[in-house]
Each structure stands twice: as structure tokens, then as C-alpha cells.
Amino acid sequence: MTQDLTGIQDTLDTRDFQTDPRRIQVRGLGKTFILHNQGGTRLPVLRAIDFDASAGECLVLAGSSGAGKSTLLRCLYGNYLATEGSIRIRDDKGWVGLTRAPEQRILQLRREVIGYVSQFLHVIPRVSTLDVVAEPLQQRGAGAGEARERAAVLLARLQVPGRLWNLPPATFSGGEQQRVNIARGLIGGHPVLLLDEPTASLDADNRAVVVGLIREALAEGRCLVGIFHDEAVREAVATRLLPLHPPAADAACAARLAAVAG
């Protein structure tokens, strides 16, 4: 059963680093977009967001369109710079302040700590599916042969036909591309995994496979933060819910906010 997480106090900061289960700490996070081509209109998307997420948890972001769910994921990945507040990500040495980290440090965190499964597959053209999936594991130090073997296992579990593995995924169907994207996101074993609607284009059988893979990731002690609009999937994987609500805005801003924030 999931729990409703509406806010927490930072009561764990004095824990010994080795026994602290947290992998993400967010305090006072805010994000405002400025639309320069519309007279500098300011669109507040996130305001005063506080939460922790720990190893073995799947924290699910909940809220209506425009509440800022996708924006929050992109802030956690470093794609969006927060307007205010702090995001700390834990690696094997300690806490890293994501909102102030230099670009090279953020890239290192993405290689070693933070995996991301977006709704759409963005890869280099003409690279085979097997190599697309294997790449994150190779970036973490695995040999090419081992990475390709593990990629093949994941692709098989996700029911991507073997005849497609040596082809680039750009011409695949939406569901096939999403399964490739999921395999690519899971293979690296990143301690933190961000999931943006990973089952949106999948049929019931493949949704069940993905639920199984997510549960395995949790059992391995990985920390997951995700968006799942499918209620059955959400109930199957969530350990806690973080409700998000769009900041107060006038009607015109609210419509534009829904288009920007996700």
C-alpha cells in the first residue's frame, strides 16, 4: 500500500553516512519559467518542494497536468536548473549539491549515479539497438561483450524481437522504442533511477514485464522516482506518493503552465 507524502522535515541529517539510506534530498525547491518571447511572462511551476527518497523506495509523483511532475524529474536529472532551493544527490563519497554542481560533475553523476527513462528515445542514429542498450553499462566500466550479453537478456525479457537487435531503433514502433528505452535505463544499475511514464505506450503483457523489472530494481536497493499515469502500474510499484499542485496562477498562465510543466 502506498503512503501519501505531503512534506517532511530534514530529521536525518545527523545520520552516519554509511547507514543513511537516503539517495535524494530536496529542500525548498522552486522552478519558474520565464517566457522571453511573451514579454518576460513568469510561470511558476514548482514551489517549496521538500522530500527525501531512499534506497529501496519508489516515490511516485502525483498530480494533474501542469502540476510540474516532469519538470521535477528534469530538475533531479540536472536538465533544468532550479530557481530556488536545493537538490542533493548521494554518490559513493557523499552528498553532491546538484543545483550548484559544475557541468562535468553533473555528467559524472549521470554516468555513475542517476539513470533516466524518458517517454521518448533519443539516441545516435545508425547505432544498433544492442549497442544502444549496452552503452550505459559500458560507461560504468563493463566490457563490451558483457554489456552486449546483458543487453540481450533485457531485450529478450522486454519482448523486443531478436531480428531487431542489430538494427537502429529509430524506425521501430513507439512501443518497441519505449521498451528499448527502458532496457537502456535499467541496464546500468544506477543507484537512482528516474522514470517518466515508462509504460505509456505498452500493452498489458509488456506493462507486467516492466512492473517486474521495477520491483527487481527496488529489491536491489535502488532508489526510484517516477510518473505513472496508469493507476494499476502505480499501485503495483509505488511505496510512497508525492502529491504536486501547480502554484496559484491566473487562467491564462495556468493554460500555458500545463503545456510547459507536464
Structural domain includes residue 156: yes
Q: Euclidean distance between the first and final Cα of the chain, in Å?
A: 26
3-class SS of residue 174:
helix
Strand locations in the chain, DSSP E? Answer: 3-4, 22-35, 41-54, 58-62, 84-90, 95-97, 114-117, 192-196, 223-227, 240-243
Instruction: Give the structural domain span for 132.
Output: 118-184
Banded pLDDT at 255 (limits 50, 70, 90): low
| Domain annotation covers residue 170 | yes
Q: What type of residue sits at position 212? A: G
Label residue 38 by pLDDT band (50, 70, 90).
Answer: confident
4, part of any domain? no
Rounded Cα distance, 151 and 206, in Å: 17
Which sign, positive or negative, has the C-alpha torsion 38, 44, 46, 49? positive
- So what's the pLDDT on residue 15? 55
Q: How many domains in the chain? A: 1
Give the orientation angle of helix 69-77 with respect to helix 251-261, to 10 degrees.
50
In a domain, 134, yes or no: yes
Better-scored residue on pLDDT, 148 or 258: 148
Residue 129 in any domain: the answer is yes
pLDDT score for 144: 93
Cα-only R_g, the chain = 19
pLDDT in tens, 68-114: 999 999 999 999 999 999 999 999 889 999 988 999 999 999 999 99
Residue 73 lies in a domain: no
Rounded mean pLDDT of 113-141?
89
Least confident of 47-61, 116-130, 211-225: 116-130
